[in-house]
Structure 1
Amino acid sequence: MFWFARPEPRWILAGSLVGVIGVGLRAWAAGYLRKQEELAVGGPYAYTRNPLYLGSAVLLVGLGLAAHSWISAALAVAYFAVFYTAVMRREEQEMRQKFGDVYESYARVVPLFFPRWSPYRGPGGTGSFSWRQFMKNREYRAMAGFLFVLGVLVIAWAYQLG
């Protein structure tokens, strides 16, 4: 991605704003996700079955904008489409096995990736957002990675100035 980058301040700013939305979505989702304990259906999980991956996609779009490179953006989207589609399908099978009919009723009305407009209000987990859960899921690593890549792009821009 960096080889094709042509960062400029306005593109770094635009990409940062989009990326922050992705990071925020991932953080919101991580505060609801109690892996292997209960089916997450609250918060962003009421709109999409995969808010973490949706957040990652938005984050990648933001980084593509910040890099100001359509080649970088296309490579990132292609990687995401191939890799994460397979991951989502595999995880979906695991959820069906673990949560059975509850997951089936949830999956019938909540889309796999692109969100629905109104929240799901059916059976499933009853949790609420928890900062402790956010930390347990180590979602701060996505934020740190995002900031690191933005820092590299700022350095690349400064280096171009010469």
Structure 2
Amino acid sequence: MTRFLPPYLFLSLLLPLAAIWLWHPPAQVPFEINVPPWDVPLILGLVLVIWARVQFRQSDSEIMTFDTPRNLVTTGVFRLSRNPMYLGFALILLAGALYVNFWCAFVVPAVFLAVCQWWNIPAEERNMRAEFGPAYDAYAARVRRWI
């Protein structure tokens, strides 16, 4: 599981959303949820993922979750969240669940958040603390994990 990278997790979780969307008959939905537009979390999620990716590239930082980090990025979108890419992926999955508009679709972004919260992010934080020590601790004290 240590090599199940967040983009792969994200893409694999799109499949259940697509299955729910394809197979649940709209007229027979027992608990249909009236939701706000799905485009807002989709656009916000895409902006976060792209912005964070650009910042990683500009600072020559390691983007792979379980590899040794090269640089501590604390500017731009990383001033607002220590994990903007995870947040962006979660928002895109939330947009998918809103689009599907069926109660069980909301399990998908919840699974993504749970795996990131209790598996991926702690592994990254251990690597960051090992590599950057007090500088990362100061950053973590200043910026929240999600938002």
TM class by smaller structure: 0.5 to 0.7
Given that residues 90 and 113 in structure 2 are in contact (C-alpha distance below 8 angstroms), is that contact kept between their aligned partners in structure 1? Answer: no
Given that residues 16 and 63 in structure 1 are in contact (C-alpha distance below 8 angstroms), is that contact kept between their aligned partners in structure 2? Answer: no
Given that residues 29 and 44 in structure 1 are in contact (C-alpha distance below 8 angstroms), is that contact kept between their aligned partners in structure 2? Answer: yes
C-alpha separation between the residues in 2 aligned to 1:7 and 1:51?
35
C-alpha separation between the residues in 2 aligned to 1:72 and 1:38?
37
2:112 is aligned with 1:80: yes
Q: Map residues 111-130 of structure 1 onto 2, 5 A cutoff.
A: 111-113=144-146, 115=147
TM-score (norm 2): 0.67
TM-score (norm 1): 0.61
SS in 1 for 2:38: helix
1:99/1:20 Cα in 2 relative to 1: closer, same or farther (>3 Å)? same
2:27 is aligned with 1:27: no
Q: Deviations over 1:66-100 (max 9, x none)?
A: 11222112x21331132111111110010000111
Q: Which runs of 5+ in 2 are unaligned?
A: 1-16, 27-33, 63-68
Greater RCO (Cα-Cα under 8 Å, separation 6 or more): 1
Superposed displacement of residue 19, structure 1: 0.8
Identify the residue that residue 18 of structure 2 maps to in structure 1.
2
Percent identity between matched residues is 26
Superposed displacement of residue 16, structure 1: 3.1
SS in 1 for 2:71: coil
Given that residues 53 and 84 in structure 1 are in contact (C-alpha distance below 8 angstroms), is that contact kept between their aligned partners in structure 2? Answer: yes
Structure 1 residue ranges (4+ consecutive) displaced by more than 6 angstroms after TM superposition: none
1:7/1:43 Cα in 2 relative to 1: closer, same or farther (>3 Å)? farther
Tell me which amino acid in the other structure corresponds to 2:43.
V
C-alpha separation between the residues in 2 aligned to 1:68 and 1:7?
12
2:121 is aligned with 1:105: no
